[in-house]
Structure 1
């Protein structure tokens, strides 16, 4: 099955969310509530459960985790560097910078099994678990600095960071959840992917990007061109196993996180501008992700 068809079920849910929000009685207020539910409960449960259920071997996981962290680190540096451009609006940059290096974990985990089978889910869960803290720390920093908010307090309250750290501690300590608790957490987390993807579609909008189109173009270029290209070169140079290479390249080419909009609004940023970036990134990702996977297959030995 081609990469485009692998992605089709996930993007079909995004389109469904858009249609439901625009053309039915299930309007924006409902999806605002769904977005908060996914962000505060469902997705943290999914992250925690995925990390706890897949034992992490530090030695074998190091090249995979290191590659993903390198991709995120390059994205953070490039996004932060845009602040040095002349006449860049500080609020727009603080709100939008995160979209250059954050990633849509809903799409990531939904795609992983179709790309690399059951091991792909464990690999992507590892990638998500190690990269979510860095992404969230880097996303909160410019918003907290611009808004004059407590940086450490915002990090300590972030549900994705809390779930990730808790899952890693459980995993590294060799702890396991009781069967009843594990089943409950799994069922809560299972709702995160379809609802999260539909919430992405419900939030699609682009109008606010006209306030700073050059900045938007630069951020989207980092997200969908520079980072995937770097990932292809990196995994081929490191000689990772083929399945792990596919996971890292797909990770680097993912659409940005839909929760970027929630974070920007909650911390006093420009929500409309961030929503526009999320929308464009989602649309670009539908085309770019399969193309980058195809480019990796041509490039790899």
Structure 2
């Protein structure tokens, strides 16, 4: 499988955003409204659709659901523990950690769907849809929680009004209730959701400042090591412990090695955190994934 070809469209959009912001009249003042549009409308619609598109059958997929939840919980626990580690913790600023912790356990849903389809066809697409449906609500809550606490906001209020969490919880409830979108509405929402990925990635490029990474090297190394090394190893172990069938095991391991979500940047900016630093982490995550994805897939053998 050509992983570079799979990741090239995302790289291209990040680079396009960077070039447009710096070398055309469409500077930062243009991208702030774009970020708000992506955060409050486009990404929520995309998340809702990604969860409701495939019915979640809890019984047959119980082992995969358990593996996905345990995988996410492991990544969240590792990410949240970084400031408390001996020797390393004192080099990590609490506020920087609150905004960047999400990079370690969130994932690029668009690449997940494309990769699963190439790995195992329709069965792979169904497996990754289940993982997205059960993991996205958990990891979105985990992404917002440290930022809300660090800002000394009312955590439950921040969670209740966060558009990404509202969309994912609504989608999960809609799915489990066995509801279906009306035929006339689904195409309209799909068109709206389809714009989230390109605009979100271009916003990442527009907001990126490589120099920001120099000030938080320990945190950078920590979140990327969790995302691209520890998460795939944890997925491999879970697949063996839970006795997942080959398709489910393959999708879980590939899922664990994905680059992080572009919405990490938009969420950090909208909650008042260091967006350029998070944008740099997202770009590095896509670069590291060029190596981590093939290595993770080698675990299958």
Shared fold (TM-score greater than 0.5)? yes
Q: Post-superposition shift, 1:76?
A: 1.3
1 CA distance for matches of 2:49 and 2:74? 28
Aligned residues: 297
2 CA distance for matches of 1:156 and 1:90? 23
* Alignment counterpart, residue 90 of structure 1, candidates 94, 101, 108: 94
* Alignment counterpart, residue 297 of structure 1, candidates 270, 284, 300: 300
Give matches, 1:51-70, under 5 Å: 51-70=51-70
Q: Post-superposition shift, 1:226?
A: 0.8
**Structure 1, unaligned runs of 5 or more:** none
Q: Deviations over 1:92-145 (max 9, x none)?
A: 221222211122223323433333323433332321222122212222222122
1:180 aligns to what SS in structure 2?
coil
Asked whether 1:179 is paired with 2:209, we answer: no
Structure 1 length-normalised TM? 0.87
* Alignment counterpart, residue 216 of structure 2, candidates 203, 206, 212: 212
Q: Post-superposition shift, 1:179?
A: 0.8
2 CA distance for matches of 1:177 and 1:143? 33
Q: Post-superposition shift, 1:261?
A: 2.3
2 CA distance for matches of 1:62 and 1:136? 21
* Contact 1:65/1:127 (8 A) holds in 2: yes
Structure 2 equivalent of residue 188 of structure 1: 192
2:185 aligns to what SS in structure 1?
helix
* Contact 1:204/1:278 (8 A) holds in 2: no
* Alignment counterpart, residue 163 of structure 1, candidates 160, 167, 176: 167
* Contact 2:207/2:276 (8 A) holds in 1: no
Q: Post-superposition shift, 1:285?
A: 1.9
Structure 1 equivalent of residue 33 of structure 2: 33
Structure 2 length-normalised TM? 0.87
Shift of the 11–271 alpha-carbon distance from structure 1 to 2, 3 Å rule, reads closer
Structure 2 equivalent of residue 120 of structure 1: 124
Give matches, 1:258-277, under 5 Å: 258-277=262-281
2 CA distance for matches of 1:199 and 1:62? 37
Structure 1 equivalent of residue 230 of structure 2: 226
- Mean alpha-carbon deviation: is it higher for 223-232 or for 101-110? 101-110
Shift of the 213–236 alpha-carbon distance from structure 1 to 2, 3 Å rule, reads same
CA RMSD of aligned residues (A): 2.4
- Mean alpha-carbon deviation: is it higher for 9-18 or for 144-153? 9-18
* Contact 1:98/1:260 (8 A) holds in 2: yes
2:46 aligns to what SS in structure 1?
helix
* Contact 1:137/1:155 (8 A) holds in 2: yes
Structure 2 equivalent of residue 78 of structure 1: 78
* Contact 1:45/1:189 (8 A) holds in 2: yes
**Structure 2, unaligned runs of 5 or more:** none
